[in-house]
Chain A
Amino acid sequence: MSAWSRLSGPLLKYAGVAFLVAAWAIVPVVAGRSTVDILVFTALYTIAGLGVAFLLGQCGIVSLAQSVFFGIGAYSTAYGVTVLGWPATVSMVTGVTLSGFIAAAVGIPVLRLSGYFLALATLALAIIGQVLFLEWDWLTGGTLGIGGITPISLFGYSLNTPFRFYYFVWPIVIVVIWLHYNLLQSRTGIAMRAMRDAPSAAAVIGVNIARLKVKIFVLSAVLGSFAGSLFAHYVSFVSVDSFGVDRAINFLLIAVLGGVRSIAGTVLGAFFVTSAPHLLSQFGDVHALLFAALLIVAVIYLPGGFGGAIAQAWRKLSGESRVAENVGGVRRP
């Protein structure tokens, strides 16, 4: 093996990373406000979508309930900040804690189900959430919503423009992705995938399946709630329209389009779900139809999602035989 070919792999990787970072830093400077806006939403939805992708890809749990936790986070922040006058962090932590407890309470009975039954049960949760967000108007403002949520302030620096929020939220996404990778590369990560592939055998090797499922569901809910809180600060106004079943489906779409086994793919899934409707809206009334058509095309031609497509391209490019297919696989030392 020549020195170049030995070096080219890592070099390619570092060059790619450097390019991505540079592109990321420069986008707000060259792109318009609406592009930055889309990228901020991409980040927010990536955080919530990762929770769903993780459940689906690593644990085999289909969750349509993420909109509920996204909503709980958003309303906790909205109510805490505007009505109770709490600081942003306290409101956010309250939302995250509340979501965690609710996920545990709901998860213990619901996660006993599997397959379609589980998917339907989580859909029911999304519907219940939507109804409660609407009916408990003393808390959520009902259809009128809650407005006037102040932007996050960091060391006296207000994140009150998309540009500022953009530079704040993407590093958070990176941290969340890092946490995900860590979990995958652990005993727990292996146990999750074992449980996904053969639950009875996982129980035999000592995995407490019921407990592990609830733990991961709580983790997913915490991410949803966190993203919801950030969302509330960013848009400054929350109403029940943002936390309906369609949002729940969007989160699942992000996971599926991204390729449930690929973390990087989830970012692309989130980007697709936020940007495609926006781009298609110039076609007028048919935009929803076009979006649906685009989805069908994506699902047919990219069965492994964007993540799967990237992994394949990377394999071709670098000549490596086995990358990304087994995200979090334990590599040889």
Chain B
Amino acid sequence: MNTDIKNMPKDLFELTPVDNNMNEKIERPSLTFWQDAWARLKRNKGAMFGLIVMSIIILLAIIGPSMNSYTYKQQIQPIKNYTKLHPRVQGLEKIGIANGIEKSGKNKYIEKGIEKDYFWFGTDELGRDLWTRVWSGTRVSLYIGLLAALVDLLIGVTYGAVSGFYGGKVDIYMMRVIEIIGGIPSLVVVTLFILILQPGLLSMSLAIGLTGWMGMSRVVRSQILKLKNQEFVLASRTLGASNFQLIWKHLIPNILGQVIIMTTFTIPGAIFYEAFLAFIGLGLPAPNASLGVLINDGYKFIKAGHAYMMVIPSVIICLLMLGLNLFANGLRDALDPKMRNL
């Protein structure tokens, strides 16, 4: 091998054509913010697991109640044959789980002569099908979570945006108000609200949403403070955009990522509060079911050997919360890599 560069024959070299147009060529397809976030989310195993768990639960909440002929408040007649039946699932009963046999060894399905019936999650003390009740309960819990998040979103974003955008005295006073309201433990307020408004779907979401918006408005405010002096805001102000337009058309879309992250964390919180209220006796009124109500109802029979009544809704609420939390964490990492902390 000839290593003497100076004495190399000229004909070994060949001139490469330089195309100046190629310098600026973009090799990879350009991604929008959302495409980029989705790509990052897809790589996050935890978030994907959360998304799958969440999707399965949501799907079952939608189709579950109509998978058999019972309704969530229907007491199957004759009631005395259908109370406290343990879970029994076709197929699974052959391998010894969910076969309807109680711990004492008796099988109520055979005793009562209803072997042809299968209650996948069993029945409760009033002879209602728990499969239907659990999934319509999940539906109610999700509904409360979403509604609370919506209230949270409306108040929190507006308050934070106004406070951050106008700044100065307005900001100082608005933040003082938040400091004072934030000093009240939210559980106390939620409980008091429900005592007065009476438990119901709307009142619960309202009470939970009303106590949770402070965090959201703090985040929105600090983001708006950061953004409002940037050139693009100045540009559209110069072009004659009103304050309202500036906030809603230019600033909020830029902090949408943060807002979405906060919202995904609100939903599991609201579901928790609902279950909490049900457990201290402030749950939805009687025939209605929510996961909290079901856990509370089932808890009364746990010592009598009917653990399934409580364990099943408990497992579902835990899975739902787990799915939501994992997904929210992943979303935070994907939308805002700087905030990554878990």
A and B associate: no
Which positions in A face B, CB cutoff 8 Å? Answer: none
Interface, chain B (partner A; CB < 8 A): none
